[in-house]
Amino acid sequence: MPIVFACAASHAPGITAWTEAAPREQAETFLGSYRRLGERLAASKPDAIVALTVEHWANFFLTSMPTFCIGRAAHYDGPVEEWLRIPKARVPGDVKLGVDLIDACLDGGFDPTFSDELLLDHATLLPLHFLNPNMAVPVVPVIINTLTVPMPSAKRCFALGALLGKFLQHSEKRIALVATGGLSHWPGEAKHGKINIPFDKKFLENILANDHRSLIAYTHDEINAEAGSGGHEIRTWITLSGAVQSWKAELLAYEPVAPWATGCGLVAFNP
Amino acid sequence: MSLYQLQKLLYHVNRDSERRERYRKDAAGFIKAYELSDEEAKAVLNVDTRTLYTMGVHSLLLKPFTLLNKVSNEDYAKALKGLE
């Protein structure tokens, strides 16, 4: 069976950790959309979730920072953050699918690192909290370095997505693809709290229009200046866009939530 | 400057409970294991948010480190005021 579900979602920790700090209407709109997206994921009856995700110093340090890392563990624990207000969970992995994705990459011109033990932080656990609430569907994390320079180019992320998408379309399993991160935010920086709404809207426009040329043209410096250090996470969205190139993206929510200090987006991709 | 060593210290304190305990008991002794300049050592021991930030410490290492040292969100923002 092929890819049966695809979505991209923001993972600002405030969504769960300080939900009530947000204006009520914004929080209800965004969380309601997140939950409905979870219902759509469940209805697609996936055998596994491939999470196009990032991390924030949970597993890797500058001793060795992978550009792409694919998990092949039997399970993943998280969240690492005690304050996230998401219960500690052991999320099942899919060892075979992880191994198969690594092989597909090596056969297809990518050389990811791989890991038999990854901790999950809010980047992965927060979306899963809404999209896989019982943590019943096994997950394969594909971690993309959006944390520290040098990072993979948008073009390279799109190409990775294309490779993964092509492979997964012929998978014997029903696959849900979940991209997580963004949109603009400046976590812990001097500009913390800033949200660049015009940047976010233009990026969403490019996603919704399947404007792949514009998506791969985003440069590191442009993202850094316009969307902040957290904005680099849009690379996961671009990766997903590469994976489901002919699918039609549907905007479920965009809320620039000041107390969550993030332009929060939710997009479903439909075949 | 030894930004790598400085960030390694923060990473260890943030992520490793055993090292965090040792740091809490004796910060001056703990930081001797890292090759820091005098300026860096001083900034760490004073939890000098602004100086650590301008030295180039990654914001997602600095923020949790300051939280562990009971720097409030307000004081953190105040320390970075006016910086790019």
Express each pLDDT in A146-176 by its tens digit.
Answer: 999 999 999 999 999 999 999 999 999 999 9
Q: Name the percent of chain A lying above pLDDT 90.
A: 99
Output phi, psi for A158, to 5 deg. Answer: -60, -40
Please report which helix (H) or strand (E) contains residue A51, including its range. Answer: strand A48-53
pLDDT of residue B1: 60
Closest CA to A131 of A73, A87, A179: A179
Of B60, B82, B83, the CB nearest to A188: B60
Secondary structure (3-state) at A140: strand
pLDDT of residue B84: 78
Please judge whether A148 and B58 are an interchain contact, meaning their C-beta atoms are less than 8 angstroms apart: yes
Average pLDDT over residues A197-209: 98
Of A56, A61, A187, the CB nearest to B8: A61
Its pTM stands at 0.97
Closest CA to A207 of A171, A170, A182: A182
Mean pLDDT of chain A: 97
In this prediction, the answer to ipTM > 0.85 reads yes
Average pLDDT over residues A178-186: 98
Question: In whole angstroms, what is the distance from residue A204 CA to residue A251 CA?
Answer: 8
Please judge whether B83 and A190 are an interchain contact, meaning their C-beta atoms are less than 8 angstroms apart: yes
Chain A residues whose beta carbon lies within 8 Å of the beta carbon of residue B59: 186-189, 192, 229
CA distances from A228 to A130, B38, B39, B45, B69 (A): 25, 31, 28, 29, 25
Average pLDDT over residues A76-85: 95
Contact (CB, 8 A) for A247 and A270: yes
Output phi, psi for B39, to 5 deg. Answer: -65, -45
Chain B residues whose beta carbon lies within 8 Å of the beta carbon of residue A194: none
Closest CA to A48 of A136, A179, A116, A144: A136
